[in-house]
Amino acid sequence: MAWCPGFHRGPQGQGGLRCCESPGRSDRSGLKECHGQRACSSLLLVRVVVQIQERPMRIDETRSLLSVFEEDAGTLTDYTNQLLQAMQRVYGAQHFALGKGDEEVISTLHYFSKVVDELNILHSELAKQLADTMVLPIIQFREKDLTEVSTLKDLFGLASNEHDVSMAKYSRLPKRKENEKLKAEVSKEVANARRKQHLSSLQYYCALNALQYRKRVAMMEPILGYTRGQINFFKKGAEMFSKRMDSFLSSVSGMVQSKTGLVTTTWERLYFFTQGGNLMCQPRGAVAGGLIQDLDNCSVMAVDCEDRRYCFQITTPTGKAGITLQAESKKEYEEWICAINNISRQIYLTDNPEAAAIKLNQTALQAVTPITSFGKKHEVHHPSQNVKNTENDKIIPNESAGIQDPTQLIAPGTPIQFDIVLPATEFLDQNRGGRRANPFGESEEGSKDEEEDSLLQQMFVVRFLGSMAVQSDDTSEVIYEAMRQVLAARAIHNIFRMTESHLMVTSKNLRLIDPQTQVTRTSFELATVTQFAAHQDNRRLIGFVVHLNETPGEESMSAYVFESNTEGEKICYAISLGKEIIEAKKFNLKT
């Protein structure tokens, strides 16, 4: 049983009351046909009494007859309660807030009139400003520029008509010499008409040319005036009512709770259970449960939710928060988290899920002190993925390496980090002076780095479990011992939270990237990774050993343990592939 946040259901739909639908009949007691609800109920009750008296041994039939009457009575009760609530709401809405007294009505109306006056003043100023800055400029542009162009157009048309008439008269002159005087008069008239047309055309063309430049300002000025007026209107309104709003907010601030989540979140008690790899939910009164979420490759962690105890959240493989649940006790709370973790690892698909779960969680039942017989569990070793680089750049396998004492691998009492902590080299790199970036493009070195990284780029979703300092990296047993101690410490201290990251494996380094902000949390040069291995029982556990230069001249080794959504062997293969690329590049440089 768990609590689930959600929305409460509304009341069920109310059906109508039952009544008799076979008119014209009468029962043995002599009652006639019924047409109403009360008559129907009385008739049914009489029938029930008669049936009980005649056949007292038929209890099933009696109960079925009584159930009809009981259903009608329950429906009538619900209907009556809801009708009463509706009537009470109607009655409560009839109270007039200003009907307490004449003085209160007068004071309220007076206050309302002041508010209306203030709004009237604001709108009056807005109307005046719009008239001056929006309407007036467009009127002036229409009456001055457009009217001038229209007038000059008419004058140009008249001058052109006069010129056409004079030219037509000049064209009709005869060839005889006695008409020289008439010819001179017509020529003078044509010259005057042509001069008048030329002057009017110049004035008209100048007006059209000026209109092309004036229209830009004329079209934008009204819009700017409207915008300026609206800005001033809202600014003055905000200044006018800011004091009242501040006093109102100060009076209301004490009434509002600090946690706004309580306003929009509701919790509902539901029955949850798991079936295969699915999380199922069965509401109260339902016949069967329904699918809520697929638990394969999901992660679960404890969360603090609205001051409630025993809350945990299930996160989908994509990193989105799925559902938040609350257990009834601490025992159920821990059982739920362990069960979801086991289901997400797909233990239920194995032949013996119980044995696999016990084998997977046996590290949590062991003591925190190192177990000297840990190496005996792995008498049959897989080929070790030891790629430790020596001074002469040779790869030395250690398949024949003997089993070492865990105290030689990890010192007793070594602290465990459950959060990702940047190595000291990261802080040293931040304090160094970086080279100047080229604003016009990347340099040749940057392009080469991109080419090298492009040879291998694989991303895996991982969750950081812990890291600790180690004393040796000669064998992969140090990774298994680190995994055992990290899981045991998390189980004993009830640490369920894990930091999810994207592990980017390239041919140069390993980068842990924040899935939300895409910011690199930390990175390790691939050449400093000397050991890497996946857990032999839990294939989703992956670990690697890194050489760190904390201070100049001093080196330390740390083992990092992760849980991935995919098999750890795939991550190990990607890391080994990146190291092979590095070795191939070194060989090419030597040759």
Q: pLDDT by residue (tens digit) across 481-501?
A: 889 888 888 888 878 778 888
Residue 542: which pLDDT band, with cuts at 50, 70 and 90?
very high
Contacts of 426 (CB under 8 A, 6+ apart): 522
Residue 34: which pLDDT band, with cuts at 50, 70 and 90?
very low
Half-sphere exposure (Cβ direction) of 287: Cα atoms closer than 13 Å: 0
Give the span between the Cα atoms of 430 and 583, in whole angstroms: 29
The angle at the Cα of 104, spanning 102 to 106, to the nearest 5 degrees, equals 70
Report the 10 Å Cβ neighbour count for 387.
20
Range 243-272 average pLDDT: 64
Residue 161: which pLDDT band, with cuts at 50, 70 and 90?
very high
Whether the Cβ atoms of residue 558 and residue 468 lie closer than 8 Å to each other: yes
Lowest-pLDDT choice from 344-353, 447-456, 557-566: 447-456
Return the pLDDT at 61: 67
DSSP state of 522: E
Residue 441 token pair: 């493009």
Cα 324 off chain centre by = 16
Give the span between the Cα atoms of 1 and 584, in whole angstroms: 58
Class in CATH terms, 265-364: mainly beta
Give the span between the Cα atoms of 17 and 178, in whole angstroms: 122
Give the span between the Cα atoms of 589 and 297, in whole angstroms: 43
CATH number for the segment(s) 107-173+180-247: 1.20.1270.60
Return the pLDDT at 335: 87
Tens of pLDDT along 11-20?
A: 443 343 333 3
Return the pLDDT at 347: 72
Range 94-117 average pLDDT: 75
Tens of pLDDT along 556-576?
A: 889 999 998 888 888 998 898
Percentage of the chain lying above the pLDDT 90 cut:
5
Alpha helices in 96-146 (DSSP H): 102-130, 136-140
Q: What is the DSSP string of 70-114?
A: HHHHHHHHHHHHHHHHHHHHHHHTT--TT-S-HHHHHHHHHHHHH
Give the span between the Cα atoms of 370 and 477, in whole angstroms: 13
> Could you tell me where in the chain the CATH 1.20.1270.60 domains are found?
107-173+180-247
The total number of residues shown for the chain amounts to 591
Return the pLDDT at 20: 38
Give the span between the Cα atoms of 466 and 482, in whole angstroms: 9
> Could you tell me where in the chain the CATH 2.30.29.30 domains are found?
265-364, 368-429+452-590
Query: Phi and psi of 321, rounded to 5°?
Result: -70, 125
Tens of pLDDT along 457-482?
A: 788 889 999 998 888 888 888 899 88
Of 3.40.50.2300, 2.60.120.620, 2.40.50.140, 2.30.29.30, the CATH number of 368-429+452-590 is: 2.30.29.30
- pLDDT of residue 388 exceeding 50, the answer is no
Largest separation between any pair of C-alpha atoms in the chain: 149
- First-to-last alpha carbon distance for the chain, in angstroms, is 69
Of 270 and 266, the structure prediction assigns the larger pLDDT to 270
Tell me the whole-structure pTM to 2 decimals.
0.35
Range 222-248 average pLDDT: 83
Range 401-430 average pLDDT: 62
Of 357 and 33, the structure prediction assigns the larger pLDDT to 357
Return the pLDDT at 545: 92
Range 499-504 average pLDDT: 88
Residue 177 token pair: 């010499």
Cα 554 off chain centre by = 45
Return the pLDDT at 99: 55
Query: Average model confidence (pLDDT) for the chain?
Result: 73
